[in-house]
Amino acid sequence: MAKHAVIFAYPREFPADAVEAQVPDPGTARALVLARRPDVLALLAHRRKRLPAGVALPPSETVERAEDAILMAFCRLALRHGTWGTDYHAYHNEGHILEILGPRLDRMIDTIGADALSLRDWFLLSLFGAAHDLRQREAPDFAAGIGSNERASVEETFRILRACGFTPERNSELFVGCELMISGSTFDARPSDATLEYNPAELVVQSGGALAQKLEVKLDKHASGWRSDERVQHAQRLALIAADLDTANVAEPFALFMASAERLCLEREMRSGRDPVSVAAAQPMLTFLTEGQERYFFELHRFSSDYGRHIFQEAKQANAEKLTALTRQLRERMANPSEPLDGATVLAAFRSLSAAFA
């Protein structure tokens, strides 16, 4: 078992990489964000004002340290797979962090109220949003249903927490919560062909959904006695909420929902080694944007928590008819082309229909 893991064993560890060395501490992260994305500091200030005031926390769990951890995760993802680095992923980048930290958490607070969760829980959900996709290039591995990218992200998040002054001894709830929330975001750890690169963008529409829904079964099998540990019970419930925040794009205004589908599609093509404007990409992209979206939306995706269903289910249902109409019309437009179909044509048609249905 990795030395910082608190629940699940894993067949290997995931050491720090060069990106971690670039952002080794909170001071570096704050300086980077101040210089490059000061809006993130404004977002954290906005969030702080919305959360319960005057709540007593242990001396080691200050809001400042919590924000330090979020900022470190933000910078590392921006450098590793986002707009600050050289391995850009169209979906799994710092923009996805801001989707969760901003409108999705705001929507949650608007609906259930800031007092529905503790200040620590709001921090954990925010840190989940920032850290759950830290790693996207790990070689495939599989243990207790947890993917290698997610396990690597857990271990890096533990190092971030330590860098911000948290320890498993004093702050065990934070470490347990991060492990279960991030592990629960796995969308099936096994590629269909073991010789292929692990492609997270593909798994979203091909897997059986987020592991969070099966965490109870995994815990029963791999962590006997967890039902008598309030920390783990609470973290398991938080993992259900976290999974809903991660997948709530299905409940966003239709244009934003389709924009996220496009980003996943582009990342999938990049990870598959295809130029998205090429002829070779046309059919895979068309399939992903039609059958893939239908299968994910209507068959695979389910909100996992009571809060998730209460907050997002009605808005998801409002997108159902539009999605069905869009995929039908996209197929019709792409049928019987006069010349070889290419990815650029598929994407242009998808964008046109997305705008028309918005």
Distance CA 15, CA 304 (A): 31
Q: Which sequence spans correspond to the domains of the chain?
A: 1-246, 250-358
Q: What is the largest CA-CA distance in the chain?
A: 69
* Cβ burial, residue 317 (10 Å; 0-12/13-18/19+): exposed
- Torsion angle of C-alpha atoms 116, 121, 127, 133, degrees rounded to 10: -80
Predicted pLDDT of residue 56: 55
Task: Please report the pLDDT score of residue 254 as a whole number.
Answer: 98
Higher pLDDT residue, 304 or 3? 304
Residue pLDDT, tens place only, 112-157: 999 999 999 999 999 999 999 999 999 988 888 999 999 999 999 9
Return the number of other C-beta atoms located less than 10 Å from residue 209's C-beta: 19
Tell me: the pLDDT tens digits for 278-332?
999 999 999 999 999 999 999 999 999 999 999 999 999 999 999 999 999 999 9
Residues 6+ apart with CB under 8 A from 68: 26, 29, 30, 164
- What phi and psi values does residue 224 have, to the nearest 5 degrees? -55, 140
Residue pLDDT, tens place only, 231-272: 999 999 999 999 999 999 999 999 999 999 999 999 999 999
pTM of the shown model: 0.93
